[in-house]
Amino acid sequence: MTESEASVDAASPESDRELIDELARSGRATAEAIGQRIIGQREVIEHLLIALFSRGHALFVGVPGLAKTLLIQTLAEVLDLRFNRIQFTPDLMPSDVTGTDVLEQNLDTGRRTFRFVQGPIFTNLLLADEINRTPPKTQAALLQAMQELQVTASGATHRLPPPFHVFATQNPIEQEGTYPLPEAQLDRFMFMLDVAYPAEREEVEIVRTTTGEEKPALPKVLSPERILALQALVRRVPAPENVVQHAVALTRATRPDSAGEHLQAAARDRIKEYVSFGAGPRASQYLVLGAKARAALAGRPVPSIDDVRAIAVPVLAHRVVTNFHAEASGVRPAELVRTVLDGVKP
């Protein structure tokens, strides 16, 4: 933790009410600014902001052409964040992401030394575009950075500049030339968000606005320093015991061996029939953190069970590993998470 982050975490409780109001105003202003370029996708934008202020990462899944990349670029512009984009391809190497050592020679002494050249991961907001187009070895290059906010190269550790977020886009795995992300990497993403086709009226508006004159520059809503302050605030938001218990109950209900603790017979049997592995403890953590951020973005000082349930599908679905029977029957993880939501009552 940096000195600035430590000072923010030590802020007096009396100031938190003002910070919650600031977060709510900033969240609305950010969503409105993004809406000048992105037509529709309100729920995706809401979850994107929740992930940002929870210090989380997000994975966006959808077919090409749905403005996933433009959404992330627009967020970086509105929040005045350093932004880099990596186009993931089959020949991309881990050093292309993290950086590499180069050999340099001092012209005066003739001495040769290695110097680390930072890769594009050294930024505030990294767009990993089409992340599943590259093999798992290169995908894994993001693991340490996403979890520990640092990169190790040639035995030396290099800290990443805060705030740091990975927002990745992924093509549907049914498409040719894709590599499924390993479960360990999927678990690092707070949300996996499905970006759907726009409604007809939204698509008409998209075509109208994108084929006309260029739009003016977007306003700068927050600075990186204020983002760090508001992220620290979300951590300080108190979570009632019943909210924590409900988050844990939802997570445990996705596991075949513990589903019976919280689910009735029909829902329990469905989980045991179709699920190989359920979500781990990190899912419970993200459910509580996301509930805190969602409440604060709405101007509320305390999250509720409804906040947990509102983000359950994007938090849990990509952490539920289905078996062959589920695949053969066309049962998707998101459907099973909804079964859990129906079976675990507030």
Homologous superfamily, domain 237-346: Magnesium chelatase subunit I, C-Terminal domain (1.10.8.80)
Higher per-residue confidence, 216 vs 208: 208
**Over residues 180-196, mean pLDDT:** 88
In 3D space, the residue among 171, 152, 15 whose CA is nearest the CA of residue 89 turns out to be: 171
Residue 198: Cβ-neighbour burial (10 angstroms; 0-12, 13-18, 19+):
middle
Higher per-residue confidence, 187 vs 210: 187
In angstroms, the Cα distances linking 236 to 20, 47, 311 are 11, 20, 20
Q: Specify whether domain 1-235 bears CATH 3.40.50.300.
A: yes
The C-alpha atoms of residue 311 and residue 213 are separated, in whole angstroms, by 37
Q: Look at residue 297 in the predicted model and tell me its pLDDT.
A: 97
Query: In the chain, how long is the greatest CA-to-CA distance?
Result: 78
pTM: 0.89
Region(s) of the chain under CATH 3.40.50.300: 1-235
Q: pLDDT tens digits for 67-87?
A: 888 899 999 999 999 999 999
Q: Look at residue 6 in the predicted model and tell me its pLDDT.
A: 44
Question: What torsion do the CA atoms of 12, 8, 20, 43 make, to the nearest 10 degrees?
Answer: -160
Query: In percent, how much of the chain has pLDDT > 90?
Result: 57
Region(s) of the chain under CATH 1.10.8.80: 237-346
Structure confidence at residue 268 as a pLDDT band (50, 70, 90): very high
In 3D space, the residue among 67, 29, 48 whose CA is nearest the CA of residue 206 turns out to be: 67
Q: Look at residue 176 in the predicted model and tell me its pLDDT.
A: 60
Listed in order, strand segments (DSSP E) in the chain are 58-61, 83-87, 99-105, 112-118, 125-129, 150-153, 156-159, 165-170, 191-194, 275-277, 321-322
Q: Look at residue 67 in the predicted model and tell me its pLDDT.
A: 84
pLDDT at 290 over 50: yes
